[in-house]
């Protein structure tokens, strides 16, 4: 047996074990779980409720929100959440978080579109109503005109306050126009 050319001599016993995880790999995996836990803590309570989380994880994420940030207790609690996350499908949860965050940005975009349409309808009047109804035949022309008329009336009486009719008009536009 030639020791100099024999590479089998330098192999460790765990080189053939496929289940072996190095300490560095284990630390990277733990860091991923803790990072995912921090993302969960950053979400609002309503966003968390949209996710299908284990009850223990959900309760501990909410508990973390009550702990003062940048303290040792906060850090330890995040580590605990990371430990709880070991039983969770990471890819699925990351996708769910992405969907929840994207859903919120879609909602705000829809709100912005509806607000712009409301302003356009109030300033341009019947021509804008006609163009909008042609573009979206599901809208009721009479209801639109009525809401616009009420909004204008409320704004002339009290321009500093938000008009209830304007809010109702925006809500109507958001629900009826699905773009």
Tell whether pTM > 0.85. no
* Assigned CATH topology for domain 12-88: Diphtheria Toxin Repressor; domain 2 (1.10.60)
Residue-range domain boundaries for the chain = 12-88, 106-176
Average pLDDT taken over every residue of the chain: 80
First to last CA, the chain: 75
Total length of the chain = 179
Tokens 């940048």 correspond to 70
Considering the segment(s) 106-176 as one domain, its CATH architecture is: Orthogonal Bundle (1.10)
The dihedral built from the CA positions of residue 123, 148, 125 and 154, taken in this order, carries a sign that is negative
Q: Identify the band that residue 73 occupies on the pLDDT scale cut at 50, 70 and 90.
A: very high
């Amino acid at each position: 047996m030639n020791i100099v050319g024999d590479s089998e001599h330098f192999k460790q016993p765990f080189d053939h074990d496929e289940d072996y995880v190095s300490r560095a790999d284990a630390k990277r995996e733990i860091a991923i779980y803790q990072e995912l836990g921090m993302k969960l803590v950053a979400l609002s309570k309503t966003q968390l409720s949209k996710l299908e989380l284990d009850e223990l994880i959900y309760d501990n994420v909410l508990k973390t929100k009550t702990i003062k940030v940048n303290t040792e207790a906060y850090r330890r609690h995040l580590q605990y959440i990371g430990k709880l996350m070991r039983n969770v499908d990471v890819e699925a949860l990351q996708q769910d978080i992405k969907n929840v965050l994207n859903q919120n940005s879609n909602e705000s975009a829809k709100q912005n579109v509806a607000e712009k349409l409301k302003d356009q309808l109030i300033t341009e009047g019947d021509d804008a109503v006609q163009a909008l109804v042609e573009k979206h035949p599901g809208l009721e022309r009479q209801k639109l005109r009525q809401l616009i008329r009420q909004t204008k009336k409320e704004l002339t009486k009290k321009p500093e306050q938000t008009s209830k009719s304007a809010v109702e008009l925006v809500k109507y536009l958001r629900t009826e126009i699905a773009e």
